[in-house]
Amino acid sequence: MSPAPHGVHSEVGRLHKVLVCRPGLGHERLTPTNSGDLLFDDVLWVESAQRDHQAFVDDLRSQGVEVLELHELLAETLAVPGARPWLLDRKITANDVGLGLLDDTRAFLDSLDDATLTEYLIGGLAARDLPEEFRSAHLALVRDEQGMTEYLMPPLPNTLYTRDTTCWIYGGVTLNPLFWPARHDETLLMKAVYEFHPDFTGSTVWWGDPEQDWGLATLEGGDVMPIGNGAVLIGMSERTSRQAITQVATRLFEAGAATRVVVAGMPKLRAAMHLDTVFTFADRDVVTYYPDIVDGIKTVSLRPADRGGFEVTAERGRHFIDVVAESLGLDKLRAVEPGGGWYAGERQQWDSGNNAVAVEPGVVYTYDRNTYTNELLRQAGVEVIEIRGAELGRGRGGGHCMTCPISRDPVDY
C-alpha cells in the first residue's frame, strides 16, 4: 500500500500517521530549581515516563498507526547533505552561545554522530557537558556553580507535547511561533525536518517561520482543531493570540482550504492553557469538555469575505459547543463533562481528563487516572484506551498534547 498522503481532515477520522517525542535528556535536566522556567509543575521520574510513553507508542502501532518519533526523525534529517550545517549555523550563534565559545561548541557538535547530536539538540547542551579538549579559557565567564547551570543550547523538554510546535490543517502545515521563550527553539528543529527530510520536503506551509520575528502573533497547536466540513476551531488562549489567528485564517481562506474559523475566546489560565485542555472530540458527535471554562467561552466566527480578508460574526448568546455542532452541519453534539462532582472534575481537568486523542471515530486514548470521565465516555459508547499518566502528565498534557497528527482521514457528517 502507498503511504497515506499528509493532511489532517478531522479530529476523529482514521489516524494514519502521527509524530511523538519520547521523554529523554531534557527531562533528566529538569530540577526543582528550573522546572517552572521549563514549564513543568514538577520533575519527572524519567525512566517511568519513558516506559509509559513507549507503551503508548506500542499501542498506537498495534492500532495500525504509523508513529514517527522526533529523535529518530531529526537524526534522519541530519543525515541529509546540508541539513546539519543549516541547523547548527542557526543554533550556534554569538547571541546564543557567546563569543569565545562558538568555535569550541561547534567543533564538539560536529564531532558527534547524528543520533548523539539529536539528543543534545532536544535535550540541551550545558557548558559543563563540553569535553576537556573543547574547553577554553572563556568558560571562566560561565556560571555553573551554586545551583546554576548555563546552557549553550537550552533543553527542550516540552517537545514531549508535539501537538503545539507544528499543526497540519487540512492539506498544509503551520510552523508555529510558540508563546514562551522556553519553547522557541522547538520550531526551528521542525523547520529543519520540513526543509530537508525527504518525506516532508515540498509540504505546503500555510503560515509561520521560526526565522522571522512574529511579535505578538503566537500560535500553539493545542489550540487548533481542523474538525472537518471546512471548519477549523482555534482557541484564543494563554498562548495563541488574535494576531496569529487572523493571519492563519486569512491564509486558509485565500487558499480555499477552509470556509470557517471558529474562535474560542478563553481566559488566560495555566490550567486551561489551550483549547484541547478543556475540549476534545471523542467521536463524530461526542465531545468531552470542562464546563467551568467552556461555558464561558466567547465564540466568534471568521469567514472569507467576498473581496478578500474575512468577515467577523460574534456568536452572541450561543454556547461554544452549539456553534461547533452547527459548523459541522449537526443539530447538536453529545457533550461529556468530567464526573465525580466539582472537586473531582477540577482535578480531572488539571490531569488532562478532557485531552482525549482519537485513532478512529469512537476510539480514544486518555490517562488512566481520570476514572470518572473515562467511565462517562464509555457510557456514551466511546472505547477508551488508557495511558498511564502519573509521570507523563506533569507538564500538563495528555494524549492529545503528546501527538501531532500528520495524516488523518475526513469524517462524513
CA-nearest of 268, 308, 281 to 225 is 281
Cα separations in angstroms, 8 against 13, 330, 407: 9, 20, 5
pTM for this model (two decimals): 0.94
Asked if residue 288 lies in contact with residue 246, where contact means CB atoms within 8 angstroms, the answer is no
Grid coordinates of 161: 507535547
401 belongs to the catalytic site: yes
Mind giving me the DSSP string for 274-343? Answer: SGGGTEEEEETTEEEE-HHHHTTPEEEEEEE-TTSSEEEEE-TT--HHHHHHHHTT-S--EEE---S-HH
**Lowest-confidence range among 43-47, 139-143, 362-366?**
139-143
d(CA 165, CA 208): 10
Place 118 in a pLDDT band, splitting at 50, 70 and 90: very high
State pLDDT tens for residues 59-96: 999 999 999 999 999 999 999 999 999 999 999 999 99
Integer-rounded Cα Rg, in Å, for the chain is: 21
pLDDT at residue 146 greater than cutoff 80: no
d(CA 373, CA 337): 7
Asked if residue 249 lies in contact with residue 256, where contact means CB atoms within 8 angstroms, the answer is no
For the chain, percent of residues with pLDDT exceeding 70: 98
